[in-house]
């Protein structure tokens, strides 16, 4: 068995978040609905990116945010995601390595540009988002490094990447590699629409043991089992999953095993500023706890602490050191 080098390997969409402050007139001229989110094609992405003016970019994406949170907690992290051989792709790789994560996925050359979420912020604070998926959807099996998978206690994958066929194949390769090395796998359901598209496949992954740990929020879990009742959904996932953890917004989280349910309260927050990334950061705390053999309730408590930090400010990644915050909160990280 390969020696452990990483607590968690994340596999997901490598998306650069690009923020620009614009006047409301800019949205009117571009026929954009303030506060909306839309998917755009390559031509529109390049056109809008060129007109945004002065902008700040940082690496993002759901699993990428989780890995950033885990690194901030002091965990040993790795990430696999596809960027292009372009300016944004270079910046994405620099950001991931700068936070201490291993990131060595070969860039895409001569094809789609790096994925980006272009966030236009108007003076009233509204954020209008334009998302281009680009290179990240071209992740394939050849991008999955068996040495990195084998050296990671847990391989964590985002459901968003179940859409592209080559990425789905890459996921299956990663799951097989992880289990062959005696490691664990985890899947986050990502969103209810994603669940609606792949409900049967996601259920099979959990029931067949391809996925050891399932992450979901309340709405995603209900969608998975086509019920409006959370208790029905929890009872169903208990039958299917070895381990599942479900975030419940201000009500905290539930962690479900075959025989027991652990409920943890949400951490108090002075002001909820931005819910973006809350689930991603919950996963960061929970996964680090699990990789370090914490009791399950303690894993969930570290997850709730991490989520509370990120919703207290704008942006999907920690503002300060989560390790410092965790130590102050009595965690041994």
Q: pTM (2 decimals)?
A: 0.91
Structural domain boundaries of the chain? 6-328
Closest CA to 67 of 167, 164, 157: 157
Look at residue 274 in the predicted model and tell me its pLDDT. Answer: 66
Q: Which residue has the tokens 């990280």?
A: 333
In whole angstroms, what is the distance from residue 306 CA to residue 124 CA?
28
Burial class of residue 127 (count of CB atoms within 10 Å of its CB; 0-12, 13-18, 19+): middle
In whole angstroms, what is the distance from residue 266 CA to residue 237 CA?
22
Concatenating the DSSP letter of every residue in 181-203 gives TT-EEEEE---HHHHHHHHHHHH
- CATH for 6-328? 3.40.1190.20
Closest CA to 82 of 29, 5, 147, 134: 134
Q: State CA 156 to chain mean position distance.
A: 9
In whole angstroms, what is the distance from residue 140 CA to residue 174 CA?
11
Closest CA to 182 of 151, 157, 206, 215: 151
Look at residue 2 in the predicted model and tell me its pLDDT. Answer: 59
CA quadruple 164, 279, 331, 313: dihedral sign: positive
Kindly provide the b/e burial profile for residues 72-108, where b requires at least 16 CB atoms within 10 angstroms of the residue's own CB: bbbbbbbbbbbbbebebbebbbebbeebebbbebebb
In whole angstroms, what is the distance from residue 175 CA to residue 161 CA?
14
Look at residue 249 in the predicted model and tell me its pLDDT. Answer: 86
User: What are the mean pLDDT values of the chain's consecutive 10-residue runs (333 residues total)?
Assistant: 86 91 92 87 91 84 94 97 94 93 96 91 83 93 97 96 92 97 96 92 97 96 96 97 94 95 89 79 97 96 94 80 92 87
Look at residue 290 in the predicted model and tell me its pLDDT. Answer: 97
Look at residue 278 in the predicted model and tell me its pLDDT. Answer: 86
269: number of Cβ within 10 Å: 14
In whole angstroms, what is the distance from residue 207 CA to residue 201 CA?
10
Look at residue 168 in the predicted model and tell me its pLDDT. Answer: 94
């Amino acid at each position: 068995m390969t020696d452990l080098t990483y607590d968690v390997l994340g596999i997901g969409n490598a998306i650069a978040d690009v923020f620009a402050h614009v006047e409301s007139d800019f949205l009117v001229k571009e026929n954009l609905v303030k506060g909306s989110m839309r998917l755009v094609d390559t031509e529109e992405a390049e056109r809008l990116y060129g007109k945004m003016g002065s902008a700040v970019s940082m690496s993002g994406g759901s699993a990428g945010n989780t890995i950033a949170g885990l690194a901030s907690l002091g965990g040993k992290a790795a990430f696999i995601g596809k960027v292009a051989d372009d300016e944004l792709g270079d910046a994405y790789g620099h950001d991931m390595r700068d936070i201490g994560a291993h990131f060595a996925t070969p860039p895409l050359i001569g094809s789609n540009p790096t994925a980006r979420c272009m966030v236009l912020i108007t003076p009233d604070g509204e954020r209008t988002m334009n998302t281009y998926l680009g290179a990240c959807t071209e992740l394939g099996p050849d991008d999955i490094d068996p040495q990195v998978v084998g050296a990671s206690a847990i391989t964590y994958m985002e459901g968003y990447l179940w859409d592209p066929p080559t990425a789905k194949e890459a996921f299956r390769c990663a799951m097989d590699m992880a289990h062959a090395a005696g490691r664990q796998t985890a899947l986050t359901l990502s969103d209810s629409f994603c669940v609606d598209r792949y409900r049967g496949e996601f259920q099979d992954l959990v029931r067949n043991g391809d996925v050891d740990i399932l992450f979901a929020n309340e709405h995603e879990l209900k969608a998975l089992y086509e019920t409006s009742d959370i208790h029905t959904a929890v009872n169903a996932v208990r039958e299917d999953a070895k381990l599942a953890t479900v975030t419940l917004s201000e009500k905290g989280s539930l962690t479900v095993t075959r025989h027991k349910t652990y409920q943890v309260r949400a951490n108090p927050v002075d002001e909820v500023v931005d819910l973006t990334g809350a689930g991603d950061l919950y996963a960061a705390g929970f996964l680090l706890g699990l990789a370090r053999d914490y009791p399950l309730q303690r894993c969930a408590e570290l997850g709730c602490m991490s989520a509370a930090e990120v919703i207290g400010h704008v942006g999907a990644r920690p503002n300060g050191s989560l390790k410092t915050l965790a130590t102050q909160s009595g965690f041994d990280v």
